[in-house]
Amino acid sequence: MIQVLQCEYGSEGFATCFDIRLRVFVLEQHVPVSEERDSCEEKALHYLALADCKPAGTARSLIMAPGLIKIGRVAVLPAYRKSGVGAAVMRAVEAANPRASFVLEAQIHALPFYERLGYVAEGDQFQEAGIPHRRMRKIG
């Protein structure tokens, strides 16, 4: 069973979210920790996905403008990939923001995942932390 919890900055849940991000982005993908943690942490709402009560994935959302939410820092631990954890955390962010539109910056390899959730790529490919990305949007 997958459960998704909302976590405030500074909470124990946030610490678990950040641990997942460190394991996926910093250790696995070699993103510098100085780029992983940014000035948006305190403003963001963080989501922790639990699979059978164990930390499995995370994401965060930021209000960019009324009705426009930016989703970022989506990460799923290797043992839980392709198990529905990523989709569950994305659906939780969307459900917490009914009628909103969403934007995100997807790693190129993850484009098909987001496309299956209704996101559409736009603009040119760009580099973030040395990893190719594209912007994506979903209209609420």
Instruction: Give the pLDDT of the chain (140 residues) as one tens digit per residue.
Output: 999 999 999 999 999 999 999 999 999 999 999 899 999 999 999 999 999 999 999 999 999 999 999 999 999 999 999 999 999 999 999 999 999 999 999 999 999 999 999 999 999 999 999 999 999 999 87
Residue 138 per-residue DSSP state: E
Q: Which of 98, 100, 39, 41 lies closest to 69 in space, CA to CA? A: 100
Q: Which of 135, 63, 49 lies closest to 91 in space, CA to CA? A: 49
pLDDT at 139: 87
Q: Compute the distance between CA of residue 26 and CA of residue 3 in angstroms, rounded to an integer.
A: 25
pLDDT at 100: 96
On whether the pTM is more than 0.85, the answer is: yes
pLDDT at 112: 98
Backbone angles phi, psi at 75, to 5 degrees: -145, 140
Task: Identify the architecture of domain 2-138 in CATH.
Answer: 3-Layer(aba) Sandwich (3.40)
**Residue ranges of domains in the chain:** 2-138
